[in-house]
Amino acid sequence: MNPSPEGHGQEPSRRDFIYIAAGGAAAIGGAFLLWPFIDQMNPAADTLAVSTTEVNLADVAEGEQLTVMYQGKPTFVRHRTAEEVAAARETGPNQIPDGDSRNLNLVEGSDATDQHRSAMAAGVRDGVEVDATLRERFIIMLANCTHLGCVPVGQSGDYHGWYCPCHGSHYDTAGRIRRGPAPENLHIPPYTFLSGTTIRIG
C-alpha cells in the first residue's frame, strides 16, 4: 500500500500552527492600531455635556431672539410678535416648497402649519400648563440653513423671518423655506416644557 502524498490527511504541522498564530497576532495588532482612529470619531466630552440645554423663555423679550448651543449646534429661540405669527398663519403648507413640519416633537410627516412649527406642538404634549399665547409666539429651531449649514440672519429676507446671505435662502417667520436653494424648512429639535416658562432642548 502506497503512503498518501505528503500533507494529505495529516494533522496540521508546526509550521501551519505558526502561520495561524502569526495571522491571529497580526489581526489583533491591527485592531489595536486602528482603535484610536475609530474612537476619535465619537462625540467629544464637551459635546456630550451639552446634550441638553435649558432656556428660560421669560428672558427673551417679544420681538427678540436668543441663540443657544445644543449638542454643539447653534439653536434659535425666537419670541415672535403677534404680527409675525399672523403672517406665518396666512401661508399654508401647500403654498411652500417643503410642506413637512421638520419638527421632532411631532409624528414624522406632520404638515408645516405655523401651529406645528411653534411651541404649540410641545406645550400640550408635556402636560405642563403653559400660556397659549406664549406657546404660539415662541419658535425653537436649529440655526443651520438646510442648504449648506450656514447660519441665517434673523428678521431679514423677503419674508421678514431668516435670510441666509451665503446662497440666498429666504425663510418666513415660521422658519419655513420660501425661496432659494435650501431644500427643507429649518429643523426643530426635540424639547419639553419643564415649567410654564422654561424648556429643555434635547
- Give catalytic residues, as residue numbers: 167
Q: Phi and psi (nearest 5°) for 43?
A: -60, 145
The three grid cell numbers given for residue 84, joined into one nine-digit string = 409675525
CA distances from 2 to 6, 21, 154 (A): 12, 33, 91
Rounded distance between C-alpha atoms, residue 57 and residue 183, angstroms: 30
Secondary structure in 3-state letters for 118-174? CCHHHHCCCCCCCCHHHHHHEEEEECCCCCCCCCCEEEECCCCEEEECCCCEEECCC
Secondary structure in 3-state letters for 172-194? CCCCCEEECCCCCCCCECCEEEC
Residue type, 9: G
The three grid cell numbers given for residue 88, joined into one nine-digit string = 406665518
